[in-house]
Chain A
């Protein structure tokens, strides 16, 4: 009984955070002379108004879900994998690179897609392992290492788009030459959405949930994250576990990049990671690193992203407003957790 009480108090505080975030955004809207209700209605409409929009929400949901799955592995090991953006980008670069190799061959497109996606996962894992190596052997905090690697990945991406892989004659911000349609992940009817990518996302979530909740490896990872010295003394090889968590996260990030290339953009574009990595960090904090809440919260964030597109079109508000809402949501819910600990948790 006590436990259910604690849980409902907890939920109450979370909802309080949500209310405060909405209030905060409402005040901002009032300050810029916009109609708050109209803006919220537009976001809702924008996300659910017609089947195309709903499909678009799921197109964003997939990468958000996958990167956050990966981030749960690094967060569990006590690591702040800021380098996630770079890992998505390098995943996309590897996928594009490998696919380009097979463009003019007679190998079956299905096989090419599979190989390129695996290459993308490998790329993400390598880039993540680099952050891990810098931390383990170079003493570079993963936040700084990851930040540096993000810049390098972005530079590499731009360099390829405007250099070696540029479209003949017209190198531009619109990216590389699109791949022929038979190299695309098959989409669902006429939507941009691929059932395959949904499948990957769901599978990834199931894997990460059981990995972290049910396996010995997951528990050891948690021990490393909560107390590295003690974990080592209990017989856990600590740096190896941290390295593995980086690699796992990199695999997820790489897969995300691969899906963006093969399933969404069908080419490499400069902002291929779309900031989903950073958004994943926010979602992970919001769900308090519990995989069980990941799917609905990621869906909510995806809906805000897509819904926000309507704002500039209809009422001349910048779509960044949904970003403000997402950010303030995380902040207010974290604040409420702090407040809860202060008043309820205090003994």
Chain B
């Protein structure tokens, strides 16, 4: 199906999110949409998939003007959108999810649908069990399910929004192979991403958006520097590595044993020094998040000790960790990080350590919020609710809300979903704290980020934890193999040495 955008304009309040966008996507092609956060990619895709309506301009499918009023309308026209967070029903079985969107029929025919499901998935080399429950699937598998469902419902154009976030390398390969098959069949694939590498491998053509404008279109093969420049307007580098770690130990795990279905993480011994940055690498669900939560009292360890600045805080709850200058920044910002419905000023009031009388000094906290908004370049006002901010600005706000005096900060995917500039900014702010002796423990799926910012690295593979590796002498390839489960024999040799050294 040929998809064409003509003169699309969309405003959100004062923000002109899409400015006069004209884009023609041929059927059978894989079109990349590149752009940093807030460039207008999501807006454009939401317009195509019927979630929002443009202020002006129109969409033409195979040359015919159409009015797409709702997501149900979109699928009727053959447009299916695969969202960044899968829109499925976790407590239901796969096949039930599959049938849910089906039109017509009082009693769904399970037998037949399962047969069709199996046929369909065999075409793409997927191997999902239709009787399994959705909440037992990985993100990548849920994505596969969603793709199959959309195809089954008759999608002839597929929109994928950041589909490679949170899935394994193998799953990515499978996904890309499937997309190529679909394109050969004449389906239109729209691939939205801010990952240059993925776009370069997959897409036959890429459109670049910046600040609401369509900056240009580039066909394959690509010149990476050119793409970066079109995205950001200037070339940026990650900056130099620098280490400010000192020798005193601020945090220690002793023989820690954590169990969290289906993972068992045993025998973790580890010391964090002040000013040090430790990266936790691994495929999603390899145990990093479990260990991190056990480190701050959000998960109870089965045995072993968690020691903060010489104090045994094992089995204490998170609030006590906070009192000991430990803070945790989770990945799901609006569920665990910020409170939707409260304004920025209200957040600073709650997080503030000063002015804790009975009544709130609203003027003081409004000013504080405004100062922080300036300092952290948050786009928003002190009375903006946090859910009205963009993802990147929410992350900046979460960072700004961290207390001034902290000894340890634990972060889950601190730059996920951020564009490069915002990510560099985040790390600049975090490194400032390291200079003052604060230590950082962070999870990331981005290996380059791990290598760039960590002093030492812990690698996770299905519940196994490597000894700390020196980031300066670890290569990207080595790290990539380790998180994929290769080369662990050597690692355990290091671990034995490390432990015998620690014992002597």
Cα distance A107–B315 in the bound complex, in angstroms: 53
B-contacting 9-mer, from A9-17, A164-172, A228-236, A247-255: A228-236
Q: Is the CB of B360 within 8 A of A226?
A: no
Cα distance A230–B331 in the bound complex, in angstroms: 11
Q: Is the CB of B12 within 8 A of A216?
A: no
Q: Per-residue CB proximity of B340-368 to A under 8 Å, as 1/0? A: 11100011011100001111101000000
Given contacts A214-B360, A219-B360, A226-B341, contact A234 B351 (CB under 8 A): yes
Does A174 have its Cβ within 8 Å of any Cβ on chain B? no
Q: Is the CB of B339 within 8 A of A235?
A: no
Does B302 have its Cβ within 8 Å of any Cβ on chain A? no
Q: Is the CB of A215 within 8 A of B359?
A: yes
CB distance from B414 to the nearest CB of A (A): 15
Q: Is the CB of B350 within 8 A of A236?
A: yes
Given contacts A215-B360, A237-B319, contact A230 B339 (CB under 8 A): yes
Cα distance A153–B127 in the bound complex, in angstroms: 57
CB distance from A341 to the nearest CB of B (A): 14
Q: Is the CB of B12 within 8 A of A227?
A: no
Q: Is the CB of A216 within 8 A of B52?
A: no
CB distance from A230 to the nearest CB of B (A): 5
Q: Is the CB of A216 within 8 A of B358?
A: yes
Does A347 have its Cβ within 8 Å of any Cβ on chain B? yes
Collect the chain A residues with CB atoms within 8 Å of residue B347's CB.
234
Does A222 have its Cβ within 8 Å of any Cβ on chain B? yes
Further 19 A-B residue pairs, CB within 8 A, beyond A217-B358, A220-B350, A234-B347: A214-B359, A215-B360, A216-B358, A222-B341, A223-B346, A226-B339, A226-B341, A227-B341, A230-B334, A230-B337, A230-B340, A231-B339, A233-B318, A233-B330, A233-B337, A234-B401, A235-B319, A235-B322, A235-B350
CB distance from A262 to the nearest CB of B (A): 31
Collect the chain B residues with CB atoms within 8 Å of residue A223's CB.
339, 342, 346, 350
Q: Is the CB of A232 within 8 A of B318?
A: yes
Q: Is the CB of A219 within 8 A of B339?
A: no
CB distance from A6 to the nearest CB of B (A): 12
Cα distance A230–B319 in the bound complex, in angstroms: 12
Does B335 have its Cβ within 8 Å of any Cβ on chain A? yes
Q: Per-residue CB proximity of B283-325 to A under 8 Å, as 1/0? A: 0000000000000000000000000000000000011001000
Q: Per-residue CB proximity of A140-182 to B under 8 Å, as 1/0? A: 0000000000000000000000000000000000000000000
Does B438 have its Cβ within 8 Å of any Cβ on chain A? no
Cα distance A347–B52 in the bound complex, in angstroms: 7
Cα distance A226–B322 in the bound complex, in angstroms: 21
* A226 closest partner in B (C-beta): B341
Does B338 have its Cβ within 8 Å of any Cβ on chain A? yes
Q: Is the CB of A216 within 8 A of B349?
A: yes
Q: Is the CB of B360 within 8 A of A227?
A: no
Given contacts A219-B346, A233-B328, contact A227 B358 (CB under 8 A): no
Q: Is the CB of A227 within 8 A of B351?
A: no
Those of B373-424 within 8 Å (CB) of chain A: 401
Collect the chain A residues with CB atoms within 8 Å of residue B342's CB.
219, 222-223, 226-227
Collect the chain B residues with CB atoms within 8 Å of residue A216's CB.
349-350, 356-360
Which of B338, B339, B341 counts the most chain A CB atoms within 10 A?
B339
- From the candidates B319, B340, B359, name the one contacting A227 in the complex (CB within 8 A): B340
Given contacts A219-B360, A234-B350, contact A227 B322 (CB under 8 A): no
Does B112 have its Cβ within 8 Å of any Cβ on chain A? no
Residues in chain B within 8 A of chain A (CB atoms): 12, 52, 318-319, 322, 328, 330, 334-342, 346-347, 349-351, 356-360, 362, 401
Cα distance A223–B336 in the bound complex, in angstroms: 12
- From the candidates A226, A233, A235, A347, name the one contacting B336 in the complex (CB within 8 A): A233
Sorting the interface of chain A by its residue count into under 10, 10 to 19, 20 to 34 or 35 or more gives: 20 to 34
Collect the chain A residues with CB atoms within 8 Å of residue B335's CB.
227, 229-230
Cα distance A167–B330 in the bound complex, in angstroms: 63
Q: Is the CB of B346 within 8 A of A227?
A: no
Collect the chain B residues with CB atoms within 8 Å of residue A220's CB.
350
Residues in chain A within 8 A of chain B (CB atoms): 210, 214-217, 219-220, 222-223, 226-227, 229-237, 347
Sorted nearest first, the 9 A-B pairs with minimum C-beta distance are A227-B339, A226-B341, A230-B339, A229-B336, A223-B339, A226-B339, A214-B359, A235-B322, A234-B350
Q: Is the CB of A230 within 8 A of B336?
A: yes
CB distance from A51 to the nearest CB of B (A): 40
CB distance from B412 to the nearest CB of A (A): 11
CB distance from B497 to the nearest CB of A (A): 38
CB distance from B349 to the nearest CB of A (A): 6
Task: Write 30 A-B pairs (CB below 8 A) sorted by A numbering.
Answer: A214-B359, A214-B360, A216-B357, A216-B358, A219-B346, A219-B360, A222-B341, A222-B346, A223-B346, A223-B350, A226-B340, A226-B342, A227-B335, A227-B340, A227-B341, A230-B334, A230-B335, A230-B337, A230-B338, A230-B340, A231-B339, A232-B318, A233-B318, A233-B336, A234-B350, A234-B351, A235-B350, A235-B351, A236-B350, A237-B319
* A228 closest partner in B (C-beta): B339
Cα distance A229–B336 in the bound complex, in angstroms: 5
Collect the chain B residues with CB atoms within 8 Å of residue A234's CB.
339, 347, 350-351, 401
Cα distance A229–B318 in the bound complex, in angstroms: 12
Cα distance A214–B349 in the bound complex, in angstroms: 11
CB distance from A77 to the nearest CB of B (A): 13
Collect the chain A residues with CB atoms within 8 Å of residue B351's CB.
234-235
Collect the chain B residues with CB atoms within 8 Å of residue A222's CB.
341-342, 346
Collect the chain B residues with CB atoms within 8 Å of residue A219's CB.
342, 346, 349-350, 360
CB distance from A237 to the nearest CB of B (A): 6
Collect the chain B residues with CB atoms within 8 Å of residue A230's CB.
334-340
* A220 closest partner in B (C-beta): B350
CB distance from B326 to the nearest CB of A (A): 11
Cα distance A223–B318 in the bound complex, in angstroms: 17
CB distance from B391 to the nearest CB of A (A): 15
- From the candidates A210, A215, A227, name the one contacting B334 in the complex (CB within 8 A): A227
Cα distance A230–B357 in the bound complex, in angstroms: 23
Collect the chain A residues with CB atoms within 8 Å of residue B360's CB.
214-216, 219
Which of B12, B328, B349, B401 counts the most chain A CB atoms within 10 A?
B349
Collect the chain B residues with CB atoms within 8 Å of residue A232's CB.
318-319
Collect the chain B residues with CB atoms within 8 Å of residue A237's CB.
319
CB distance from B346 to the nearest CB of A (A): 6
Which of A232, A233, A347 counts the most chain B CB atoms within 10 A?
A233
Cα distance A235–B329 in the bound complex, in angstroms: 12
Collect the chain B residues with CB atoms within 8 Å of residue A235's CB.
319, 322, 350-351
Cα distance A214–B360 in the bound complex, in angstroms: 6
Given contacts A223-B350, A227-B334, contact A347 B341 (CB under 8 A): no
Q: Is the CB of B322 within 8 A of A215?
A: no
CB distance from B383 to the nearest CB of A (A): 10
Collect the chain A residues with CB atoms within 8 Å of residue B359's CB.
210, 214-216
Cα distance A251–B318 in the bound complex, in angstroms: 31
* B337 closest partner in A (C-beta): A230
- From the candidates A215, A226, A347, name the one contacting B12 in the complex (CB within 8 A): A347
Collect the chain A residues with CB atoms within 8 Å of residue B334's CB.
227, 230
